[in-house]
A and B are shown apart, each in its own frame.
Chain A
Amino acid sequence: MTATAASTNAVPTPVLPRSTRLAMFFRLLAIQGSWNYEILLGNGIGFCVEPALRLLPGGRGGPAYRAALARQCQYFNAHPYMAAVAVGALARAELEGEQPARIERFRTALCGPLGSVGDRLVWAGWLPFCSLTALAVFGLGGAPGAVLAVFLVLYNTGHLGLRAWGLGVGLERGMRVAQALGNPVLRQGPQYIARAAALMAGVALPLALHRIVGSGRVLTGGVLVAVALGAVVLARLHGRVEGWRVALGVLAAFVLYSVVRHG
């Protein structure tokens, strides 16, 4: 804290021009453009921080700029949306002239929390919730445009909002951004969203299934019983089989059966 305060006092808090913030935000949408098994998100972080680094003494291509960019392109792993927090915080840390060793330690410390929070909040919460809500609208007879609008507007309100919040809070707090990760939405949100998604799963499944079947309730009823039994089997095999692979195999067998029977 002392070192942070000292360096913050030594270098005034940077104010980023709107164009720089916008450039960083749009680059965040492509943060995983070069995702790979070597440095994971590393290059993407450097790519997103780069517009801010041009404000360092010496400008683009100067020694400070090059040293900071090299630091930011090292290995990094996080949820792609939550990486916005890291991008903002690291940009501010660099512009405030924090010591390189402190920035590197801070950078390493960010990986775990930004990965797990994002995975629980978005991949295991918000995405299934939005998908199931759209499937419920589909099951209720929604037209293609309505189903797509519900899904895309709902999902991207959360998606873009999270990225914008992350970048803003990162830029505002710099290396003190850890406090922001204690935000109730991030701590309690996944649990509430998961419950809402579970509720929506119950609503959506019979409705969507009925619309796909497209015929009488008797057939739908029979299919629902089969689904319940099949789901119990899949749940018991959890961790040993992947449902989509089972679906691929069973569907291939069914197609073969139907075609071969012709002969």
Chain B
Amino acid sequence: MLAMLGAVLGLDVVSFPQAQVSRPLVAATVAGAFMGNALAGLLAGAALELIALETLPFGASRYPEWGSAAVVGGALFAGQPHTTPGALTTAALAGLATAWVGGWTMVELRKLNAHWARLRLEALGRGSQRTVVGLQIAGLTADLVRGGVLTAASFLLLRPVVRASVSLWTVNAGHSRAFVAALAATVAAGAAWKIFHTTPGARWFFLSGLAIGLALLGLR
């Protein structure tokens, strides 16, 4: 079931329908719900989402594949009590590692699609409807399989590693979570600067928002 979820959410990243159900916040939460703990999935998803803010899918650029990765990260975190020291840290690392590998698999898929298109250029030049639809279906199917295999392989490979790491964990639970949160928020803040620094007045909007955010935090 998890592999199917990873396949469907991996497909959403680029191929179909790009509704952003593959964003970590969504994908990890759904994976958490599959494991019986949506809230844990949401926590892992929020950490990964902060990091994913930096990697926007511009054109032909290479970026991590967050859909399948967030399923793996969310499921690994939700699969253990979320107060376990090191659980969020290791799950986030597993998610990031899967995203990295997933990015590579997307590049390979694009090369495979190019190979298939090159073989059929003559038929495309003749305006063959069968070829056009066939290439589209082949690409979609390959992407679906890619996401499913990636999710299954990563989950099966990383689950024992995460469990072993958590059993040997020495840093206390609070500091471990704080470390992940700090790292993720740092990347997000850097991403915010990267995306908005060329927009006139954006820094003032950011600072105003920060004041509101801190005030809300103080009121809680």
Contacts and interface: CB of A to CB of B under 8 A. Distances in A.
Q: Is the interface on chain A under 10, 10 to 19, 20 to 34, or 35 or more residues?
A: 35 or more
Interface stretch (B1-9, B148-156, B174-182): B174-182
Contacts of B194: 235, 238
Interface string B171-197: 100101111111111111111111111
Contacts of B212: 199, 202-203
A25 to B, nearest CB: 11
A144 B41 contact: yes
A230 B23 CA distance: 24
Contact of A243 (B21, B190, B209, B213): B190
Contact of A261 (B14, B59, B170, B207): B170
A77 B61 CA distance: 13
B107 to A, nearest CB: 9
B181 A223 contact: yes
B124 to A, nearest CB: 5
5 contacts: A47-B132, A145-B38, A198-B206, A205-B185, A214-B174
A39 B117 contact: yes
Interface of A: 29-30, 32-40, 42-44, 46-47, 50, 60-61, 65-70, 73, 77, 79-81, 115, 119, 123-124, 127-128, 130-132, 134-136, 138-140, 143-145, 147-148, 151-152, 155-156, 159, 191, 194-215, 217, 219-220, 222-224, 226-228, 230-231, 234-235, 238, 242-248, 250-252, 254-255, 257-259, 261-262
Contact of B205 (A159, A196, A224): A196
B132 A243 contact: no
Contacts of A213: 174, 177-178, 181
Given A69-B127, A199-B208, A258-B86, A212 B181 contact: yes
B180 A227 contact: no
B192 A201 contact: yes
A34 B136 contact: yes
Contacts of A139: 213
Contacts of B127: 65-70, 73
